[in-house]
Amino acid sequence: MPRFYFNFRCDKFEATDVVGEYCRTRDDARFEAMRAARRIVRRRLLEQDFTEMGWIEVEDEAHRPVLKVPLSAVAF
């Protein structure tokens, strides 16, 4: 099963996933990225520090970008 890395980026902050997560397909990786984006939005809303300018960038095992999920996709 391939490993995917879920990096968070925004205008003020960057967090690189160095561990990654195993997902069967890219669709599963997209689902995990959306779930992570929802957690980030929820936490930032509670902290009253929300910006829609961030995104989750998913990389494959070779650390090539395969998908980008903007936080605005889950903000509504």
Task: Give pLDDT tens digits for 12-25.
Answer: 788 899 999 999 99
The pair of structure tokens assigned to 54 is: 């961030």
Global pTM reads 0.82
How would you classify the pairing of strands 14-15 and 65-70?
Answer: unpaired
Strands (E) located in 1-76 = 3-9, 14-15, 21-22, 55-59, 65-70
How much is the average pLDDT of 28-34? 94
CB atoms within 10 A of CB 68: 13
CA distance 11 to 54: 7
- The boundaries of the domain holding residue 62 are 3-73
Q: Quick one: pLDDT at residue 30?
A: 93
Q: Quick one: pLDDT at residue 59?
A: 96
Q: Tally the domains of the chain.
A: 1
Helix (H, G, I), strand (E, B) or coil at 20: coil
